[in-house]
Every structure is written in C-alpha cells, then in structure tokens.
Amino acid sequence: MFIDHDYIEKILDESRLVSKEDVQVVINKAKNKEGLNHKDVAILLQLEDKDQLDSIYKIAGEIKESIYGKRIVMFAPLYVSNHCINNCLYCGYRRDNKFERRKLTQEEIKNEVKILESMGHKRLALEVGEDPVNVPIDYILECIDTIYKTQNDNGEIRRINVNIAATTVENYRKLKNANIGTYILFQETYHKPTYEKMHPKSIKGDYNYHLTSFDRAMEAGIDDVGAGVLFGLADPKFEVLALMLHNEHLEEKFNVGFHTISVPRLKKAEGMNLEDFPNVLDDETFKKIVAIIRIAVPFTGIILSTRENQEMRRELLRYGVSQISAGSVTGVGGYKEKEDRKSVNQFETCDDRSPLEVLKGLVNDGYIPSYCTACYRKGRTGERFMSLAKTGQIQNVCEPNALMSLVEYALDYGDDEIRNKVDKLIDNIKDDFEKKHVREMIEKRIERLRNGERDLYV
C-alpha cells in the first residue's frame, strides 16, 4: 500500500535530525519552482527558524504569482442531501445527530441553482452525505443533469465538481459520463488508527477502500481528482507527508497527480466539541502547511473554503491558495432558506460576505476573480492540463479567459462600483500581455461581451 505508516514515521524521525544547513538546501531547491519530493517536504515541515520561514512564504508567493498570475477561481458548494448513514465524529450530518433529514427534489435544485446563478456562480461543488438507499448514484446523476440544464437569464453552471463518498469503478464511470469536473474526496485523515476511531461502525470506516477511491476513479476515466485532509484530526506533519505520498502514487500509476488539494480545518459542528480534538491546527502551522503544499506541488490548485475567515483567506491567497468559495451555505436547501429559516448546517462557516463583496475585496487587492471553466470544456484536463501548465503555455489562455469571465460577471451581476473597478483593472494589466495579438483578441472579445455575447473563451 502506498501509505506505509512505519515509513512515514521513519521519514519524519529522520527529518527531525536535520541541520539548518540541510533545510537551506531544500529551500534552495524550492526556488526552482519544480516541486519537491516527500522527503524534502518532511524537512520543510520541521522548519521553525523565523528567517527560513519567511523565505518559504516568499518562495510560495513567487510560485503562486508565476504560475497562477493574479487569477483566483471562484466557486460555491451546493448541498442537495443531508441523509447520511455514516457516523463521522466531527460532522454535523452524522447519523447520531437526530434531525429531520432532507433531500432536494429536482424542482428545489433548480431553485437553488437559479439563486447561485444570480450570484454569478458558474462552477459548483456538489455535496451530499452517504446513503446508498435514499441517495443512490442515479439521484446524483439526475441532480447533475438538472444543474447543467438550469439556466437563469445569462446564468448557467458550466462545471460541477462532485464531492460524494468513495464508490465503485462502475459508479465513477457514470459520473465521468455525466460530465463532472473534478471528483473530490477528502481522505479526512491518512492516519489509520485515527481514521478508524473517527469513522466508527460505518461504510466510510473502511480505510483502504476510502484511500483507493482515486485509483478507481482514474481507472474509470476521471482525469481530475481533488484530494484533501481534514486538518485537526491527526498530526498535521503526518497528514501532509501522506498527502504527498498519495500524490506521488497517482503520478506514478496514472501520470497525473491531484488536480486540486483542499485544506479544510476542523470547525465547530452540531453534536461535537472542538475541545475533544487534540490536534486542532493553530493559525501559524496552518499557514506554513499551505505554503509548503504550494511549493511541493506548484501546478496543483489549492482550494480554501469559507471555513476560514476573511483575514485568513486574504493571507493564504498570497501564499498559494488559487480557488475560493464565496457566499456559501452548508445546509441542504440553504440558499433558498437563508432568507426563510435556518437549515441544519454541516459545520459553521466564517466568511459570510456575499460573492459580490468577496469579489470587490479581491479586485481591490489586485486579483482577477475568475469564473472560467474553459479548460475542462475544451478537454484540457488531467495529464494534458498538467503538461500545458508545466510548460507555461496555459498562461496565454488562462489570464485572458479569466478577464473575460470577470467582465461577463460585472456586466450581468455587478454594480457600477465593480464595473468601474474591472475597467480600471483591465487598463492596468492590459500591457502585461506582451503579445500584440493577445491584447487585440482580449479587446475584441470584451467588446463582444459588452454587446451581449456570452461565454467567450480560448
């Protein structure tokens, strides 16, 4: 098995003994922006020296800037069912929590999607609990179909990433055929004894089955898989190292590793107390981990949700985060009910700004919020995406595409303030495009958007 606990402990023990000079060798290697192997990562995880810490933040920031430019991908989660037969000790949806379970009808889904579209969203993460009887794969497929078909004026969902429980090759094939974007599954914890303790008497409690889901998903033809650790369950150093080994395993076997890594931190939820979790992660360690992941896997997107507050999100965008959610609710039917009544949430969120407010904050900080979904729709996924990204060719398409998606947002969902800001942003960065034909192409397409055309991308 590619996660060998003794091996991970051994590498961590060895890394505790390295000198400051050894650490510097890894830092110098990190500057090449070519990624790091798990042994290097183990060394960086031990880093405590203030100057060395500052230099890894600086390198992470430079890698972020050179690969992702100023683009930040925007998305929102959509919870369609909170039925769950598992009993994950950290989760508000676990079966021991008694409340009236709910799954949305296709009509209700249409309403949620229309609300999300009216916020400007084009990319969703579909979320459900695990319940093969009440929420079979056919229900998920129906939801995906409904979401893609639901349009609201100019609004449409162009990419659905799916976060559902570990399943079979056959079911992954069905998801692939339903045109999902990324298949997302968090390992929660790679530490087997902790995993088993956190997932008592449940389907999800099968560590090996959960761990090998991406192998099955890729076997079924899904190119883009999104990993994650729920930070707060076990030793974070163990988790990051295991995450790297998992990524290396997929690279070896399928020639492509994680498309994204999510970095959720444990939050207060119904029926659990954070005091019962001794590994809850402090802010400083969390920032260090995000910077190390950015350095280790430069071409893998890092996703940060509204589990984090505005300040933390702002800071982590500098060190490596490339995708954020905005305006999220974590309850079933929650977008509609936000106005009516409070639904049961999976966990508490900490950034409750509207997408427009989040967007203004990003533009003020010089970022280009991006609603682009072109890569996936043009078949630039998996290995193909990675090789384009690694040769830097993706830059010439991503930045213009991000700009066009932002103009589209400002025209359809923005106010005068954001439209002015976007105009200024375009003026400021237009000259960054060295190639004349790229500049001209952007200008022409923006004009076409202003004249009412939509969905223009390269």
Buried (b) or exposed (e) across 38-52, using 16+ Cβ within 10 A? bebbbbbbbbeeeee
Note whether 93 binds ligand SF4 by CB under 6 A.
yes
- For ligand SAM, the binding residue among 30, 36, 180, 185 (CB under 6 A) is 185
In the bound state with ligand SAM, the residue whose beta carbon lies nearer, of 8 and 332, is 332
Closest CB 167 distance from ligand SF4, rounded Å: 12
CB under 6 A: which stretch of 90-98, 135-143, 270-278, 390-398 binds ligand SF4?
A: 90-98
Q: Which does 42 bind (CB under 5 to 8 A by kind): ligand SF4, ligand SAM, none?
A: none
Is-contact 187 227, C-beta < 8 A? yes
d(CA 286, CA 158): 32
Rank residues 63 and 78 by Cβ distance to ligand SAM and give the closer one. 78
Q: Which span sits near ligand SF4 by CB under 6 A: 65-73, 81-89, 147-155, 220-228?
A: 81-89
Stretch that binds ligand SF4, among 10-18, 83-91, 272-280, 428-436 (CB under 6 A): 83-91
Q: How far is residue 250 CA from its own chain's centroid?
A: 18
Which range touches ligand SAM (CB under 6 A), out of 193-201, 259-267, 313-321, 361-369?
Answer: 259-267
The one among 120, 155, 236, 264 contacting ligand SAM by CB under 6 A:
264
Q: Which of ligand SF4, ligand SAM, none has residue 358 at its interface (CB below 5 to 8 Å by kind)?
A: none
Smallest distance, ligand SAM to C-beta of residue 319, A: 21
91 binds ligand SAM (CB under 6 A): yes
Does the protein bind ligand SF4 through residue 129 (CB under 6 A)? yes
Question: From ligand SF4, ligand SAM, none, which one binds at residue 399 (CB under 5 to 8 Å depending on kind)?
Answer: none
Contact partner at residue 286 from ligand SAM, ligand SF4, none, CB < 5 to 8 Å by partner kind: none
Phi, psi of 229 (to 5 degrees): -120, 140
Pick the closer one to ligand SF4 by CB: 86 or 325.
Answer: 86
Between 231 and 371, CB nearer to ligand SF4: 231
- The token duo for 192 is 């087997």
**Does residue number 73 form part of the binding site for ligand SAM (CB under 6 A)?**
no
Q: Using the rule CB under 6 A, which residue among 55, 81, 86, 395 binds ligand SF4?
A: 86
Q: Is 1 or 274 the residue whose CB approaches ligand SAM more closely? A: 274
Q: Does 266 bind ligand SF4 (CB under 6 A)?
A: no
Q: Which of residues 32-61 bind ligand SAM (CB under 6 A)?
A: none
344 binds, among ligand SF4, ligand SAM, none (CB under 5 to 8 A by kind): none
> Per CB under 6 A, which region of 21-29, 52-60, 86-94, 151-159 contacts ligand SF4?
86-94
Give bridge partners of residue 301 from the DSSP assignment: 260
CB 280 within 8 A of CB 232: yes
Binding of ligand SF4 by 88 (CB under 6 A): yes
Is residue 359 at the binding interface for ligand SF4, with CB under 6 A as the rule?
A: no
| Residue 391, amino acid | T
333 near ligand SAM, rule: CB under 6 A = no
Q: Identify which of residues 188 and 351 has a Cβ nearer to ligand SAM in the complex.
A: 188
Q: Which does 94 bind (CB under 5 to 8 A by kind): ligand SAM, ligand SF4, none?
A: ligand SF4
Q: Is 91 in the site for ligand SF4 (CB under 6 A)?
A: yes
Residues 106, 127 contacting (CB under 8 angstroms) = no
Q: Which of 204, 249, 267, 445 binds ligand SF4 (CB under 6 A)?
A: 204
Stretch that binds ligand SF4, among 62-70, 88-96, 247-255, 257-265 (CB under 6 A): 88-96
Q: How far is the CB of 286 from ligand SF4 (least distance, A)?
A: 20
3-state secondary structure the chain: CCCCHHHHHHHHHHHHCCCHHHHHHHHHHHCCCCCCCHHHHHHHHCCCCHHHHHHHHHHHHHHHHHHHCCEEEEEEEEEEECCCCCCCCCCCCCCCCCCCCCECCHHHHHHHHHHHHHCCCCEEEEEECCCCCCCCHHHHHHHHHHHHHCCECCECCCEEEEECCCCCHHHHHHHHHCCCCCEECCCECCCHHHHHHHCCCCHHHCHHHHHCHHHHHHHCCCCCEEEEECECCCCHHHHHHHHHHHHHHHHHHHCCCCCEEECCECCCCCCCCHHHCCCCCCHHHHHHHHHHHHHHCCCCEEEECCCCCHHHHHHHHHHCCCEEECCCCCECCHHHHHHHCCCCECCCCCCCCCHHHHHHHHHHCCCEEECCCHHHHCCCCHHHHHHHHHCCCCHHHHHHHHHHHHHHHHHHHCCHHHHHHHHHHHHHHHHHCCCHHHHHHHHHHHHHHHCCCCCCCC
Rounded to whole angstroms, the Cα distance separating 410 from 367 reads 14
**Those residues with Cβ within 8 angstroms of residue 32's Cβ, 6 or more apart along the chain or in another chain:** none
* Binding-site ranges for ligand SF4 (CB under 6 A): 84, 86, 88, 91, 93-94, 129-130, 165, 204
Residues making contact with ligand SAM (CB under 6 A): 90-91, 127, 129-130, 163-165, 185-186, 188, 230, 264, 266-267, 269, 307, 346-347
